[in-house]
């Protein structure tokens, strides 16, 4: 009888512990047949089996422990990979393209290139503490300014339909356009009458006697939004120290209105890197159709070198796609996109090559499964 009572007590304790904490394995595998066609003198076409045409392939673990009194601790480890060849995605350890001297393991560079290492938690690697006052999150995480780019884009910054702001702006604004390492983030609590937001600080972690650029890779960002019923709008600002470029500013605003039969999305971005400015905007939205949705977007981006006699490269992009959900976890999709260039731009789609001031077309056909 005594042993039975002890066994019951152990089982009850285990049940209470499992009710207070949980760990989830999750992921996405997305494979894409991608065609790219260039135009003009010396153009080149390309076909490839690639990845992430609809969602980014990933493998992750996340968990939460209830600490009582409204307090909880959480972790999130998420690794990106290329589904076509199994290689791990790239990461950046110090928010700089060139690391500090004394990092031979990284080849004196802060960026670890894709495919040259095992699977890494490059997408997200955080531990956090949350309560009624909000959440404090530590580690590698998305930057606040990236959220507006992806949430208010019908294509979610994936595949050939990715908005031109993401395609060009990420190149312009550098390594913190999407994620930041060594970050300290704070998120506002829910139930604030529709208001939401976050603030983030990230460190370059250079030693103080490394010269004038000892604070490179250090920066801050913030995002504030309001969502109520069918309406959602948010703005974000950011700044990253970069001595050679004179600092990197990335600021944007995005919003959407859900009409029920369709969502209308829009965004505007203004970037500044040294003496170079970038301006872009997007309009589009998804239209639910039975078990799937049609996605359409038009985006534009212009780079201004602010130098007399130097042209301003401009690119315009149309994208049209359809996603068919075979189940809650499995979908097939296709996306077509067309890009036109002027002012010295030569952007092309899906790895194709186009002549300066010419155009390019791209097509994705893919399969996505989540778990």
Segment 279-312, tens digit of pLDDT: 999 999 999 999 999 999 999 999 999 998 899 9
Per-residue confidence band for 20, with pLDDT thresholds at 50, 70 and 90: low
Q: What is the pLDDT of residue 98?
A: 55
DSSP letter for each residue of 326-347: SSSSEEEEEEEEEEEEETT---
Q: Crossing angle of helices 164-173/144-151, nearest 10°?
A: 160
Q: Which helix (H) or strand (E) holds 18?
A: helix 2-20
Q: What is the pLDDT of residue 226?
A: 98
**pLDDT at residue 7 tops 50:** no
Q: What is the pLDDT of residue 318?
A: 98
Predicted model pTM: 0.88
Segment 97-114, tens digit of pLDDT: 754 433 333 333 567 777
**pLDDT at residue 91 tops 70:** yes
Per-residue confidence band for 235, with pLDDT thresholds at 50, 70 and 90: very high
Q: List the domains of the chain with CATH numbers.
A: 25-370 (2.40.160.10)
List phi, psi (to 5°) of 19: -75, -25
């Amino acid at each position: 009888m005594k042993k039975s009572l002890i066994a019951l007590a152990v089982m009850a304790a285990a049940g209470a512990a499992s009710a207070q904490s949980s760990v989830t394995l999750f992921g996405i595998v997305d494979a894409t047949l991608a065609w790219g066609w260039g135009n003009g003198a010396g153009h080149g076409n390309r076909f490839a089996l690639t990845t992430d045409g609809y969602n980014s392939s990933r493998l992750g673990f996340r968990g939460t422990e209830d600490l009582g009194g409204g307090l909880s601790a959480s972790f999130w480890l998420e690794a990106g990979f290329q589904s076509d060849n199994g290689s791990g995605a790239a990461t950046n350890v110090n928010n700089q393209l060139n690391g500090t001297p004394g990092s031979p393991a990284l080849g004196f560079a802060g960026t670890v290139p894709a495919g040259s290492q095992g699977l890494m938690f490059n997408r997200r690697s955080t531990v956090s503490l949350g309560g009624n006052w909000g959440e404090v999150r530590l580690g590698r995480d998305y930057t606040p300014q990236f959220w507006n780019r992806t949430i208010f884009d019908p294509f979610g910054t994936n595949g050939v339909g990715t908005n031109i702001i993401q395609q060009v702006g990420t190149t312009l604004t550098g390594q913190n356009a999407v994620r930041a390492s060594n970050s300290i983030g704070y998120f506002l609590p829910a139930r604030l009458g529709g208001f939401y937001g976050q603030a983030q600080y990230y460190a370059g972690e250079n030693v103080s006697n490394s010269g004038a650029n000892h604070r490179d890779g250090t920066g801050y960002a913030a995002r504030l939004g309001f969502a109520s019923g069918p309406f959602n709008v948010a703005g974000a600002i950011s700044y990253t120290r970069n001595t050679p470029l004179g600092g990197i500013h990335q600021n944007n605003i995005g919003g959407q209105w859900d009409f029920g039969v369709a969502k209308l999305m829009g965004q505007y971005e203004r970037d500044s890197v040294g003496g170079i400015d970038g301006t872009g905007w997007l309009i589009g939205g998804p239209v639910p159709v039975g078990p799937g949705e049609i996605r359409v977007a038009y985006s534009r981006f212009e780079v201004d070198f602010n130098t007399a006699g130097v042209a301003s490269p401009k690119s315009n992009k149309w994208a049209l796609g359809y996603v068919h959900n075979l189940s809650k976890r499995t979908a097939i999709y296709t996306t077509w996109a067309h890009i036109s260039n002027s002012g010295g731009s030569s952007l092309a789609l899906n790895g194709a090559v186009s002549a300066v001031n010419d155009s390019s077309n791209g097509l994705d056909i893919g399969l996505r499964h989540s778990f």
